[in-house]
Amino acid sequence: MGSARSWLGVIAQTWRIRLLTMLEYKANFFMWFAFTIAYHGVAIGALGATLYNFPSLAGWNFPEIAFLYALWMLGHSTHNLFFFSVGDVPTYVQEGTFDRFLVRPRDVLFQIVSVPNQQWPDELALALVWFVFATWYAHVRVDWIFLAAIPLVVIGGVLIDLAISLAIATISFWFVRVDTLRWVVMSLEQEFTRYPVSIYTRGVRILMAYVLPYAFMNYFPAVYFLHKNGDQLAIVPWLGLLAPLVGAVWFAGAYAFWRVGLNHYQSTGS
Partner 1 sequence: MRLEPYVQFASKAFQREATYRVEVVSEIGSLVLRVYLIRALWTSLYAHNAAPPNLPLHKIITYSTVALLLSLILEVDGTRQLREKIRLGTIATDLLKPISLPAFLFSDGLGMTLLHAMNVIPSLLMALLLVHVDRPPTLQAGLAFVAAFALGYGVNFLLNFSMNCVAFWTLETFALQLVVRWLSDLLSGAIIPLAFFPGALQTLLLHLPFAAIYSTPLLIYLGLIHGPQIPQALLEQTAWLAVFVGIGALVWSRGQLRIVVQGG
- Interface with partner 1 includes 200 (CB under 8 A)? yes
Question: Taking the complex as a whole, how short is the minimal distance between the CB of residue 266 and partner 1, in angstroms?
Answer: 26
By CB under 8 A, what part of segment 14-43 binds partner 1? 25, 27-28, 31-32, 34-35, 38-39, 42
How is 173-233 classified by DSSP, letter by letter? HH-S--HHHHHHHHHHHHTGGGS-GGGS-HHHHHIIIIIS-GGGTTHHHHHHHTT----TT
Contact letters for partner 1, residues 202-221 (x by CB under 8 A): --x-----------------
Question: Taking the complex as a whole, how short is the minimal distance between the CB of residue 32 and partner 1, in angstroms?
Answer: 5
Closest by CA to 76, choosing from 156, 136, 142, 147, is 156
Question: By C-beta, is 56 or 97 nearer to partner 1?
Answer: 56
Question: Taking the complex as a whole, how short is the minimal distance between the CB of residue 100 and partner 1, in angstroms?
Answer: 26
Question: Taking the complex as a whole, how short is the minimal distance between the CB of residue 183 and partner 1, in angstroms?
Answer: 5
Contact letters for partner 1, residues 43-82 (x by CB under 8 A): --xx--xx-xxxxxxxx-----------------------
Helices (H), the chain: 4-24, 26-53, 62-83, 89-95, 99-102, 108-113, 122-137, 144-174, 179-190, 202-206, 219-225, 243-268
- Interface with partner 1 includes 184 (CB under 8 A)? yes
Question: Taking the complex as a whole, how short is the minimal distance between the CB of residue 10 and partner 1, in angstroms?
Answer: 29
Beta-carbon contacts of residue 169 (< 8 Å; ≥ 6 apart):
86, 87, 89, 90, 258
